[in-house]
A = this chain, B = another copy of it.
Amino acid sequence: MNGQFIVEGNKMIHELLQSSYHYTHLFATENYLDEYPTLNNSLDSRFSTLSQSEMKQISHLTTPPGVLAVVDIPTGSPDMDVCSHQWVLALDGINDPGNLGTIIRTADWFGIRHIFCSRDTVDAFHPKVVQSTMGSVFRVVVSEIELIDLLQYASKKNLPVLGAMMKGEPPETMSQLAGILLIGSESHGIRNHLLPHISHPVTIPRFHSAVEAKPESLNAAVAAGILMAVCRGFEHI
């Protein structure tokens, strides 16, 4: 299934049908069609019904929702030039599918349209990523890139590059309307060779506690969400 991905469930199929994404197969069980007869209005030769047990075989979910589509992954990559016109995310090695999916969903909420991932970031079309985007996978363009190229481009253009680090300044609302928000992996943060290109190292302050035992980090998707909210600022949204 090279160049394709799977979406499942009522909400995801609804989002797919509203999107410009092209699917090659759409499957539903009789039960599903009974419950959601409106799907009948969208059916063409790409549609087949499946029995519950057939659906169970192709579904990635433990409780198959009864509707599943096979969708083409869009070809072509955006030019990295987009970061000179709008805020984009850059992800360095995020490897938890749920975190990537949640980051895509949050980016969509805040109007971020492009996410650039290092080549070792988990595949954006992994079924668990796709499902946890809750449909945002159809509205946010996620592409792989050598992050160093993107950051060098941004440096040359004097664009702000915010990097989420252990030692940085508390995040503040940025007056610039374009730039890069760089998030590192859950376990290792941002890789060393990228650090010289960060213009604004930012850290979400941790509560000061006298107790020795402290939380070591925030969940990567939560940290990304807080930075998207604070650095863009609600007034720009």
Contact = CB atoms under 8 A, between A and B. Distances in A.
A76 interface: no
A181 interface: no
A171 B226 CA distance: 12
B170 A218 contact: no
Contacts of A206: 109-110, 237
Interface size class of A (residues with CB under 8 A): 35 or more
Given A134-B215, A139-B215, A221-B219, A109 B229 contact: no
Contacts of A135: 213, 215-216
Given A139-B213, A205-B237, A218 B15 contact: no
Interface in A167-181: 170-171
Contact of A105 (B110, B170, B205, B218): B218
Interface string A56-99: 00000000000000000000000000000000000000000010
Contacts of A102: 219, 221-222
B170 A216 contact: no
Q: Most chain-B Cβ atoms within 10 A of its Cβ — which of A15, A109, A110?
A: A109
So how many copies of this chain end up in the complex? 2
Contacts of A55: none
A136 interface: yes
Nearest to A212: B18
A225 B237 CA distance: 18
Interface in A1-50: 15, 18-19
B19 A218 contact: no
Contacts of A217: 134
B229 A19 contact: no
B225 A208 contact: no
A196 to B, nearest CB: 26
B109 A213 contact: no
Given A102-B219, A221-B222, 8 more contacts: A18-B212, A18-B213, A98-B98, A105-B222, A108-B215, A139-B213, A206-B237, A225-B226
Interface of A: 15, 18-19, 98, 102, 105-106, 108-111, 132, 134-136, 138-139, 170-171, 204-209, 211-213, 215-219, 221-223, 225-226, 229-230, 234, 237
